[in-house]
Chains A and B, each alone.
Chain A
């Protein structure tokens, strides 16, 4: 039972995740590139729905005491710099780290080459960690804060706004895509 929970459990979770990524077409480099070129909104559709559906369930689970939040530190300078690099890397590579692992298994050889680059990136980060810790990571560090904390707007209101925003946005995207198809 323990072995099952510690090995089979996470492998199955990963497999379900990988399966969904492939079926959602986001293990396809072209789909990701075209999201950033605003020609294909699959990535935003998948992520937006995952955030709204996942968030409401996790909120309920937290409120009923079945889990807790695992919020990452808001080291703002590091997060902003890292996210900017991530955006550059995602466009040049054509994948994010999770979809890359899925893509390798669907036959994308260039994804494998990029995965070796990711290993190199992780090594470079470890080698520069001491310097970053001294000069970057502690700048504008807010701790593990959540949007409801800093805005005094309750969780449910945030999710209501997100859900409404997502529905309106996706409705607009869908109608634009339908119009394009008719041409």
Chain B
């Protein structure tokens, strides 16, 4: 696997792998926000729609009756609205960008993780899965994620969003220091 990955990355032309300036990308996302507000009346956000789609996965787990009766999904039922189509677009755009720049590659264990926790795929998958549970539960509890709160809420100067940004980065720094501390 690693040889396939490495050869794929190595063969990509160097010039094509140049990343855009983070400031240019940030400005682009800011511009995208203008369109989201003015044209669609729907600020950039991810987790609300994600939560709607998750109800589909809940049906085989807790039964259609329990999903239909659930008070949260009653307020946020599955519907193919702006947010859900937006979610469909994200991987499409990222895929195009990765293929165009020749940076598409299979990644089972990221380098930073490998350096600290070793090459075990199972370990990384368990970490990713539980990290995923915690991040989504937190996002729903806070009412948004890095996009909905961080960018869309931050640029509206929303009190909730700036509290989110401060607490999120603060805890992230703390947990990261614990997780990656030198032994």
Contacts and interface: CB of A to CB of B under 8 A. Distances in A.
Contact of B139 (A67, A82, A120): A82
Interface string A53-81: 11101100100001111111111101111
A14 to B, nearest CB: 2
Contacts of A57: 30-31, 33-34
A142 interface: yes
B37 A61 contact: yes
A16 B21 CA distance: 16
A126 B132 CA distance: 15
Nearest to A29: B110
Contacts of A20: 25, 28-29, 32, 93
B132 A69 contact: no
Contacts of B169: 36, 87
B173 A54 contact: no
The secondary structure that dominates the B interface is helix
Nearest to B22: A45
Interface in B80-121: 82-83, 85-98, 101, 103-113, 121
Size category, A interface: 35 or more
B10 to A, nearest CB: 15
A129 interface: yes
Interface in B144-183: 144-177, 179-180
Given A81-B141, A83-B163, A58 B156 contact: yes
Given A23-B20, A110-B124, A126 B92 contact: no
Contacts of B108: 109-110
B134 to A, nearest CB: 4
Interface residues of B, number: 123
A172 interface: no
Nearest to B35: A13
Given A45-B23, A80-B163, A109-B108, A90 B89 contact: no
A176 interface: no
A63 B140 CA distance: 31
Contacts of B111: 30
B90 A102 contact: yes
Contacts of A61: 34, 37-38
Interface of A: 6-7, 9-25, 27-30, 33-34, 36-38, 42, 45-55, 57-58, 61, 66-76, 78-111, 113-127, 129-130, 132-133, 136, 142, 144-150, 155, 158, 170
Given A33-B112, A37-B112, A125-B137, 13 more contacts: A9-B39, A13-B40, A14-B90, A17-B86, A24-B19, A47-B154, A49-B26, A101-B46, A111-B107, A124-B133, A125-B140, A126-B70, A158-B157
13 contacts: A17-B89, A19-B96, A19-B97, A33-B110, A38-B173, A67-B38, A71-B160, A78-B142, A87-B172, A97-B136, A98-B145, A113-B128, A144-B158
Interface of B: 19-20, 22-23, 25-44, 46-47, 50-51, 53-55, 57-58, 61-62, 70-73, 82-83, 85-98, 101, 103-113, 121, 124-125, 127-177, 179-180
